[in-house]
Structure formats: C-alpha cells, structure tokens
Amino acid sequence: MRRVSLLSIVAAAALAGILCADTVTEVLRADLARERRRLASDATQLAEVGRRLQTATGDLATASEAVADLAGRSDSSIEEVARREEAVAVAEQEVRTLLDRRRLLVERLLERRRGIALLDAELKGKRPAATADLLSGRWNVTLEPGEQRGVFRLALDGTLVSGEYTLEGGFSGSLRGTLIGDRLRLERVDSQLGFTTIYFGRLARDGSQLSGTWESTTFGVGAAGAGRWRAQPIKEEEVEASP
C-alpha cells in the first residue's frame, strides 16, 4: 500500500512537471507570436517616420533658404525676416522630434529582434546556461520622459516573471513577463487602467541594473507613447528599514 502511494506521488509530480512545462511553452509561443507582429508594426512605423523626416528636412532647408534670401535683400522688413526665422525654428523642432522617434524605434527594433532570437532558441531547447536569480526582489524604477519613479517587485520562476508595482501618481498593479538570458519583457497591468505598458529591458550581468525602453498600449492626449526606463535593486537592508 505504501509503495502504491509512493508511486502515485511520483506520477503526480511528473504530471505536474509536464503541465508546468506545457504552460511555459505556451507562454513563450504566445510571446514569440506577439513580438513578431510588433516587429512588423515597428518596421512599418520606422518607414513612415523616415518619410516624414525626409519631408521635414526639406521644409527646414526651404525655410532656411528663405531667411537667407530675405536677410540679403534691402527691401525686406525686419518683421518678415523674424517671421520666416520662426518657421525655421518650427521646422527644426519637427526634425528633432522625428530623429528622436526614429532613434527610439531603431533601439526597440533591435531589442525585439534579440528577444525573438532568444525566445526562438528557448522553444527549440537551445537555452542559455542557467545562472543565479539576479532578478527576484525589489527595484527602484525611473521612467522617462518625466522622471516618474516607483518600485517594481519581481519574482522569477524559470523563465516566467511575475510581480507588482507602485508608481508616483497613485498608480499600482501587476507585472507579468519573461526573462530569456538577460533579456526582460514585462507587461504592466494597472489596477484601474488595465494593460497599459510593455517594458523591454536588459539585466546587467552582475544584477546591478535593469534598463531598456517602454511603449504604451494606450494612447492618451498629451501623454508620451514610448520612452526609456532604468532600475536599480533595493538592498535587503533598505527593505528592512522601509516602513
């Protein structure tokens, strides 16, 4: 009887392991499919930003030439030159904005491609060598633009990441994602707003920092749709000293 019970326990444990492995595989497959779709979307956005940048650069050149032409003419008024110079400033700002957007998109594309390669390798069983868990714990987080600060509490189970967060402004909720090698992908689900943000990051080899880019899944008026983020681990003594 005791032997039968022992066999039952072993069989149950084996079945649980298989079910857990299947769950992880399904999560990784879903992440891979999403990342491939988003990679295609980012490539489309990059092409559009490139077209807009070309147009904006042409507008800047035209506006600059107009100022140079007016400045050299004796019949032009100071007001007209000043007005044309304002047009140059507007064109310059548009070029800067598009350059920043392009740079961020390229960074995100590279991160997505690295993440896709790692997810694909994980699914094919070509996993990176196991390393110590440097992710689990509390992290002081800063989001840019705006220098919004908060705390992420993360827990790693194999390649799956779960956790919760609090951010300035009264925001709080849960985090879910994956860590493949040193590449982190997190989805932020706000307690009031729902699924709002995706974070792409890289974990430093010594666990001293997380850093990367983020993108919004919602689009509010006047709110940034993407940016960068960084985080440093909170030491145990800091946790114990906190209220």
Nearest Cα neighbor of 239 from 164, 147, 140 is 140
Average pLDDT per run of 10 along the chain, which is 243 residues long? 46 44 72 84 90 91 88 82 88 89 83 80 64 88 92 91 94 91 90 90 91 80 74 73 48
Residue carrying structure tokens 């022992």: 6
Beta-carbon count within 10 A of 119 CB: 24
And the tokens for 243? 């209220």
> Has this prediction a pTM greater than 0.85?
no
Residue 122's region, left for phi above 0, alpha for psi from -120 to 50, else beta, is: alpha
pLDDT of residue 24: 66
CA distances in angstroms from 185 to 50, 76, 91, 94, 145, listed in the order given: 27, 58, 36, 31, 20
How far, in whole angstroms, is CA 243 from its chain's centroid? Answer: 30
The Cα–Cα gap between 45 and 22 comes to: 35
Per-position DSSP letters for 189-241, written without gaps between them: EETTTEEEEEEEEEE-TTSS-EEEEEEESS--TT--SEEEEEEEEPPHHHHHH
pLDDT of residue 216: 86
Q: Tell whether the torsion through CA atoms of 153, 181, 43 and 123 is positive or negative.
A: negative
Nearest Cα neighbor of 188 from 198, 180, 179, 178 is 198
The Cα–Cα gap between 229 and 33 comes to: 24
